[in-house]
Amino acid sequence: MGCGIHQEVEPIDGAPSVFEWAGGTAAFTRLTRLFYEKYVPADPLLGPLFADMATDHPERVAAWLSETFGGPTTYSEQYGGYDWMVSQHMGKALTEAQRARWVQLMTRCADETGLPADPEFRAAFVSYLEWGSRIALENSSPGATPPQHLPVPRWSWVSNATPGSRVSALAPQSEEALVNMPTADERLSFEQHIRPLFREQDRASMTFAFDLWSYDDVGRHGDAILERLQEGNMPCDGAWPRERVETFERWLSAGKPA
Ligand code: HEM
- Kindly give the distance from the C-alpha atom of residue 136 to the centroid of ligand 1, in angstroms, as a whole number: 8
- Please report the atom of ligand 1 found closest to the CA of residue 46: 30
CA of 102 to the centre of ligand 1 (A): 10
Using CB atoms within 10 Å of the CB of residue 27, give its burial: 0 to 12 exposed, 13 to 18 middle, 19+ buried. Answer: buried
- Cα(162)–Cα(167) distance, rounded to whole angstroms? 12
111-155 pLDDT tens trace: 999 999 999 999 999 999 999 999 999 999 999 999 999 999 999
Q: For 212, what's the count of Cα atoms within 13 Å in the CB-facing half-sphere?
A: 22
SS3 per residue for the chain? CCHHHHCCCCCCCCCCCHHHHHCHHHHHHHHHHHHHHHHHHHCCCCHHHHCCCCCCHHHHHHHHHHHHCCCCCHHHHHCCHHHHHHHHHCCCCCCHHHHHHHHHHHHHHHHHCCCCCCHHHHHHHHHHHHHHHHHHHHHHCCCCCCCCCCCCCCCCCHHHCCCCCCCCCCCCCCHHHHCCCCCCCCCCCHHHHHHHHCCHHHHHHHCCCCCCCCHHHHHHCHHHHHHHHHHCCCCCCCCCCHHHHHHHHHHHHCCCCC
Instruction: Inform me whether the pLDDT recorded for 2 exceeds 50.
Output: no
User: CA-based Rg of the chain, rounded to a whole angstrom?
Assistant: 26
Check pocket membership of 61 for ligand 1, CB cut-off 6 A: yes
> In this predicted model, what pLDDT tens digit does every residue of 56-67 receive, in sequence order?
999 999 999 999
Residue 170's pLDDT band (cuts 50, 70, 90)? confident
pLDDT of residue 204: 76
pLDDT attached to residue 75: 98
pLDDT at position 32 is 98
Determine the pLDDT at residue 199. Answer: 86
pLDDT over 70 (residue 168): yes
Position with higher pLDDT, 7 vs 210: 210
Q: Is 77 exposed, middle or buried (0-12, 13-18, 19+ CB in 10 A)?
A: exposed
Verify whether ligand 1 is closer than 6 Å to residue 89 (CB atom). yes
pLDDT of residue 201: 79
Q: State the distance from the centre of ligand 1 to the C-alpha of 13, rounded, in angstroms.
A: 32
Tens digits of per-residue pLDDT, 74-98?
999 999 999 999 999 999 999 999 9
Task: Mention every residue, 6+ apart, whose C-beta is less than 8 A from residue 143.
Answer: none
pLDDT at 173: 66
Ligand 1 atom index nearest CA of 75: 16
Per the model's pLDDT, the better-predicted residue between 178 and 240 turns out to be: 240
Distance of alpha carbon 75 from alpha carbon 93, whole angstroms: 24
Cβ(52) to ligand 1 under 6 A?
Answer: yes
pLDDT digits (tens, 9 = 90+) for 11-28: 677 789 999 999 999 999
